[in-house]
């Protein structure tokens, strides 16, 4: 798996989620499965099947988190870009974090650094206009603000 570039906040949040799921989460799901088993016939026991599905989803998330954390690189160079599309009024400005999709910043959408807009914004400065290729043609955005995450 490739290196996962994460801010310290995202890494800490994912680590806490991993620890919660591998302790409290597993115990709660095991208790749900046990209670459902006590209801009898497992073939037609919707509670049992729901608990097993929940367990499967949770174990998948645990594996995903484990791989991300094992391959994490903590970075200090993630930014929130406030941009305005060419021709839009100032009140239409949008905020984007260029980084891992696990990042969370209030009021900002996350975009991948490998996406056309993400690639164009990396290293852009306040006041700079950047152009990128979108599916429907070239788009230009002006960078209004750059904040460190």
Residues 62 and 99 in one domain: no
Domain boundary among 49, 74, 99: 74
Contact in structure between 52 and 35 (CB atoms under 8 Å): no
Residues 122 and 85 in one domain: yes
Q: CATH number for the domain including 88?
A: 3.10.50.30
pLDDT score recorded for residue 29: 96
Q: pLDDT at residue 112 above 80?
A: yes
Residues 59 and 121 in one domain: no
Residues 57 and 109 in one domain: no
Residues 109 and 83 in one domain: yes
Residues 70 and 86 in one domain: no
68-88 pLDDT, tens digit per residue, is 999 999 998 789 999 999 999
Mean pLDDT over 101-129 rounds to 94
Backbone angles phi, psi at 105, to 5 degrees: -135, 125
Q: How far is CA 106 from the centre of its chain?
A: 12
Q: pLDDT at residue 133 above 70?
A: yes
Q: pLDDT at residue 1 above 70?
A: no
pLDDT score recorded for residue 43: 75
Under the banding of pLDDT at 50, 70 and 90, the label for residue 127 is very high
pLDDT score recorded for residue 41: 75
Residues 9 and 63 in one domain: yes
Task: Annotate the chain with three-state secondary structure.
Answer: CCCEEECHHHHHHHHHHHHHHHHHHHHHHHHHHHHHHCCCCCCCCHHHHHHHHHHHHHHHHHHHHHHHHHCEEECCCCEEEEEEECCCCHHHCEEEEECCCCCCECCEEEECCCCHHHHHHCCCCCCCEEEEEECCEEEEEEEEEEEEC
Contacts of residue 76, Cβ cutoff 8 Å, sequence gap at least 6:
7, 8, 148
Residues 128 and 95 in one domain: yes
Q: pLDDT at residue 65 above 90?
A: yes
- Rg of the chain over CA atoms, in angstroms? 21
Q: pLDDT at residue 12 above 90?
A: yes
Q: CATH number for the domain including 9?
A: 1.10.287.180
Number of domains in the chain: 2
Residues 26 and 88 in one domain: no
Mean pLDDT over 7-30 rounds to 96
Mean pLDDT over 5-29 rounds to 96
The mean predicted confidence, pLDDT, of the chain is: 93
Residues 10 and 52 in one domain: yes
Domain residue limits at 133: 79-148
Q: pLDDT at residue 38 above 90?
A: no
Domain boundary among 42, 74, 106: 74
pLDDT score recorded for residue 125: 96
Residues 88 and 38 in one domain: no
């Amino acid at each position: 798996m490739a290196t996962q570039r994460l801010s310290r906040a995202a890494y800490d949040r994912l680590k806490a989620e991993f620890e919660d799921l591998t302790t409290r989460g597993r115990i709660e799901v095991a208790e749900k499965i046990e209670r459902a088993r006590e209801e009898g016939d497992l073939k037609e026991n919707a509670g049992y099947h729901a608990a097993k599905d929940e367990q499967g989803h949770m174990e998948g998330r645990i594996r995903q988190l484990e791989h991300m954390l094992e391959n994490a690189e903590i970075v200090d160079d993630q930014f929130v870009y406030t941009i305005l599309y060419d021709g839009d009024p100032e009140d239409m400005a949008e905020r984007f974090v260029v980084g891992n999709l696990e990042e969370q910043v209030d009021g900002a959408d996350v975009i991948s650094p490998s996406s056309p807009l993400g690639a164009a914004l990396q290293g852009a400065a306040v006041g700079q206009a950047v152009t990128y290729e979108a599916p429907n043609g070239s788009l230009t955005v002006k960078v209004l603000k750059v904040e460190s995450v």
